[in-house]
Amino acid sequence: MSVAAVEPPVAPGSGAQAAIARIAELQQLVAQANGAQPAAPTTSNGGATFPAALAGAAGTTAPSAAAPPPFGSLPVAAPTTAGAVPTTLGGTPSAFDGLIVEAAQRHGLDPALLKGLIRAESDFDPGAGSSAGAAGLTQLMPGTASTLGVTDRLDPAQSIEGGAKYLRQQLDAFGGDVTKALAAYNAGPGAVQRYNGVPPYAETQAYVQKVQVYADEYRVAPAAALAPAATVPPTLAQVTAPGGATAPLFTSAIPTTGSGTIT
């Protein structure tokens, strides 16, 4: 018995549901022709997609969508550390830049600020001294140097290390306030506490401003600030063709004679 001889009429329809119903009827006819028990006819795809129904009729399995990777399996960028201590100095170099950067890193200081302090204190003279008894690059007093573990105030490495440590102490004592810390370095923490800020001493007020100006000179400008130069837009010139006719021509050369005519 041929399939065509027993093929029932198909109800009119269109679209995916009609096609799926037709496929189901064909499957039943094939099963009857082979002597197998036909499956109950259906007119709906039961929620399956049309490609899945077609794949089922052909005896294959429709590919399923790839499952998204589990949360946490995607690569995550390494976190950056906010407020990281700079490792370079700008401005005019000194013979002590290496020691300054190393000491600044050990004590969590901006190396530009430490270098500005040294310039204001001694102008990079390791043998500098004051009438009050301060000495060395960071102008430590004998008692202060002793508490900081500095045995030779004229030794550049010891002086820079001691000055960095003392500046760190003042920053911690005044909540990270750079202005108050510098004032305390110059006039003593007691004076800053007494006046709740920079004491009204002309020397101290000038010192605080000077150190910060110097520090600005030694800070390295961020790479983002170094923007490339703007491209010169093309200018419209005139080309003189044989016979005197002119035609516009775009060129990136800027006219220097004002005529803009190429002959």
Q: What is the pLDDT of residues 181-208, one digit of tens each?
A: 999 999 999 999 999 999 999 999 999 9
Give the residue carrying structure tokens 């077609």: 54
Q: How far apart are CA 253 and CA 100, in angstroms?
A: 49
User: CA distances (Å), 57 to each of 5, 26, 61, 97, in order?
Assistant: 21, 9, 10, 80
Determine the topology of domain 97-221 in CATH: Lysozyme (1.10.530)
Q: 7, 121, 203, 217: which is the annotated catalytic residue?
A: 121
pLDDT, one tens digit per residue, over 31-84 is 777 765 555 544 445 555 555 555 555 555 545 555 544 443 433 333 333 356
121 as an active site residue: the answer is yes
Instruction: Write down the domain spans for the chain.
Output: 4-57, 97-221
Greatest mean pLDDT among 5-14, 60-69, 168-177: 168-177
Q: Which residue, 86, 87, 163, 152, is CA-closest to 124?
A: 163
Query: What is the distance of C-alpha 251 from the center of its chain?
Result: 38
Query: Does this model's pTM top 0.85?
Result: no
